A and B are shown apart, each in its own frame.
Chain A
Amino acid sequence: MADTSTPDVVHHTYDVLVIGAGGAGLRAAIEARMRGKRVAILSKSLFGKAHTVMAEGGIAASMGNANPRDNWEVHYRDTMRGGKFLNNWRMAELHAKEAPQRVWELETYGALFDRTPEGKISQRNFGGHQFPRLAHVGDRTGLELIRTLQQKIVSLQQEDHARTGDYESDLKVFHEFTVTELFKEGDRIAGAFGYRRPTGEYLCFHAPAVVLATGGIGKSFKVTSNSWEYTGDGHALALRAGARLINMEFVQFHPTGMVWPPSVKGILVTESVRGDGGVLKNSEGERFMFRYIPDVFREQYATSEDEGDRWYDDADNNRRPPELLPRDEVARAINNEVKEGRGSPAGGVYLDIASRRTTEFIRKRLPSMYHQFKELADVDITTEPMEVGPTCHYVMGGVEVDPDTASTVVPGLFAAGEVAGGMHGSNRLGGNSLSDLLVFGCRAGAGAADYLDGLAGVPAVTDEAVDAALAESEKPFSVRGEENAYTLHQELQQTMNDLVGIIRRADEMEMALKRLAELRDRIPRVGVTGGRAYNPGWHLAMDLRNMLVVSQCIAMAALERQESRGGHTRDDYPAMDENWRRELLNCSLVEGPEGPQVELAHQPQPAMRSDLFDLFELDELKKYYTGDELGGHRADQGV
């Protein structure tokens, strides 16, 4: 029974708590509910506003509607290549195999994807995918995904209403609710604690299974395409509950985000601008990318502006312009131009299509970009250049999970979606995020239900734990305003952006860790004004500790990994090192003399199952693997 001994806290009891209401959380909740569990969804924002709505391109799934040669094996290979073979291969396998089913079932929930002439789901091309593979709805696929899942939740609530007379008897959404702490009894999860944003009221949930589906960490960086919620809450909750984070050094930066005006800093500018003729220029008007063609690409890229310009009309007889180098190369070049003082006033470079294409062409080919700049920035991209720079986009790292059940090392704790780590290795392919949410959201819901079926006795939440969580949340009210939460947040973002950003160096990351340690001392001194009801200053004060610990994990792992791979680029170790492919870095929280400290450890990457290994040609594997790892390949087994 719910313990009511703490008067200021309202208690609820559920089978499964799902923290987060994006694609992964909603899919997990649907699965757990359909397996007969009573489920509460705890959502930091309003129901239906999750960051998933920001996804544009599509959902990668090898349905083979556009090209019948596509299948899960091709998708698997593409995913592993994209992640530079650091991916958890079992996750990549499950993802590639199950994505089509997860997309098709969305249609039974009412989703309306764009269609092929045969009436099937249309699929589009995307970077790194060998065949057209992304199910999409124009450029608003994420919105379609979230709305479809939201409406499926409602549909299940209607079924419950017909049976019990109560829409919320078996599946309830607590929206604008922030979880601040997880509870355990012994090793096992027992519940969660948090507050209702509108009222500031504290709630304690008694539940033996918790699914983390809180998304990413982008708000630790100054320039990001991520929305307000992305403060690493799930990453931090998992750490504090005793779970491990892996691959935290891998953060994806997209080379072209908007940087000016400030109101839109970080919003993505599609690669199609460059694909359709846009060029990058520095403050001196120089098309600087020609100075940044690395040796390995020298054969494939144009060395003069004339040749690059001819490529758009005659790709067979000319080489590509260097604006179309891989994303990490372009991001690195932009970063260097700005560092050397040739940036634009707002700290980016210029992306110019206005001087190169007609107004009609731009408006026809890039309607959403035209609209985005016109509405948000008052910039007419048909007459003026855009200002762009790298923007923090996605974290590959996250909570370490068992691929099949999405369970963590903490019994009763599960994680799915961006908050989970491993699936994407060192770099995620476009389109693989939405499919990840569905595949592993579903598996997490099923994993939680199975865990409950095998559970002997329900772990209990103690009064002491509730009192401690309550006291922690109340702290900012008793501190008398020495530090301002908004100021500290800006300093944290500046530190991560400048020192652990797109290009990293040992001395800078050491400096970042020093500044983070200082922030760690200052955050407890943040005071807030006003009451508990919808008080953003208070909320930020609580979010700061999550952003801090996640930032420490990123900086420590990034300092440790002495190579460049995917979303981790070291100025001082610019090459990929096959020995590092076998190494994963994990972060955990250990009790130290001054409270809990992040501890970094190495762990080996499990060897790929032989039938999956054999899906690749030996020559390709040689680029990534050490010689002694290649022995088991089919080519070596003397046919």
Chain B
Amino acid sequence: MGYRAKFEVWRGDSSGEGALQPFDVDVEEGEVVLDIVHRLQATQAGDLAVRWNCKAGKCGSCSAEVNGRPRLMCMTRMSTFEENETITITPLRTFPVIRDLVTDVDFNYVKAREVPSFAPPEGVAPGEYRMSQVDVDRPQEFRKCIECYLCQNTCHVVRDHEDNKPEFAGPRYLMRIAELDMHPLDVRNRKEDAQEEHGLGYCNITKCCTEVCPEHIKITDNALIPMKERVVDRKYDPLVWLGKKIFKREELEQREATGQRSLDDAGPENGSPLPADSIGPVGS
């Protein structure tokens, strides 16, 4: 069931010079875009640069833009395209090109380093950490992140505005702050961090990050919006109050459906030295 497909692949280098190079290439049944790139390497362009590791959607290395959409190439099946369609692959637009489809993603490592690390509770020995599943569920969702940087690439705050990069950590690292804030045993107050040091205020919740996440993490709804709520939580805000009520009711219904414990249950002692209101999830 193989056919000959038309591809256009961006070739260029760190000078910024480059152009789309056309290729005619065989496609076999069941292949993904990364297979085609590998075939190009093996048969037509031995030096075509592409970054990849696991080819199983687990490492987040092969991010690129396929027909303008930020995607993992290993998770983009050829069967999602028409056989007569020209498929265009370009590097992530938000980051500087190293060569061909490979971009310099060090921006993300710099941002990662600016987020203060997990602050463990004092006086709790290794092996003595106690946390209930209901409390780790929410930060665990964010730890599914494979750091493909598709959210960082697609977020318009930095995609279209290079000058915002110094002030804005991007969805992945704002989510990291939310994750630490929701960690049942983290002792650092991170609310001001997010707003003042990492640019949470730039986010206007357009949910572009959530749409491109290959792990289907609800970045906006579950990390960024709750973080914004927590920042304003110190003052009375009727809208936030109402939002939390609604959120709590929905969550309770969902928990009943899945057999999880209610948020109102005290749950087992989790060993945290912090008062309950600073370790529970939003709404508790």
Contacts and interface: CB of A to CB of B under 8 A. Distances in A.
Interface in A240-283: 260-264, 267
A241 B48 CA distance: 32
Contact of B144 (A101, A108, A140, A228): A140
A425 to B, nearest CB: 27
B156 interface: no
B52 A228 contact: yes
Contacts of B109: 47
B136 A49 contact: no
Contacts of A229: 53
B31 A262 contact: yes
A119 B186 CA distance: 16
Contacts of B83: none
A110 B117 contact: yes
Contact of B59 (A53, A114, A262): A53
B126 A112 contact: no
A54 interface: yes
A229 to B, nearest CB: 7
A376 B57 contact: yes
A537 B41 contact: yes
Given A107-B126, A158-B117, A533 B57 contact: no
A260 B28 CA distance: 11
Given A529-B47, A534-B102, A115 B132 contact: yes
Given A46-B61, A112-B139, A377-B30, A119 B131 contact: yes
Contacts, number: 181
Interface string B39-57: 0011100111111111111
A536 B61 CA distance: 15
B34 A53 contact: no
Contact of B56 (A100, A107, A167, A376): A376
A319 interface: no
Contacts of A161: 113
Interface residues of B, number: 68
Interface in A298-341: none
B interface, by DSSP: helix, strand, loop or mixed? loop
A261 B30 contact: yes
Contacts of B46: 484-486, 528-530, 536-537
B113 A260 contact: no
B75 interface: yes
A263 B104 contact: no
A151 interface: yes
B32 interface: yes
A115 B58 contact: no
B171 to A, nearest CB: 17
Contacts of B147: 48-49
Interface stretch (B190-198, B237-245, B263-271): B263-271
Interface in B115-134: 116-118, 120, 126-127, 129-133
A453 B132 CA distance: 43
A87 interface: no
Interface in A416-441: none
Contacts of A636: none
**Most chain A CB neighbours (cut-off 10 Å) among B31, B42, B43, B50:** B42
A486 B42 CA distance: 5
A487 B146 CA distance: 32
Q: Which 9 A-B pairs have CB atoms at the shortest separation, nearest pair first? A: A261-B30, A530-B47, A110-B118, A155-B117, A537-B46, A119-B130, A486-B42, A104-B126, A534-B49
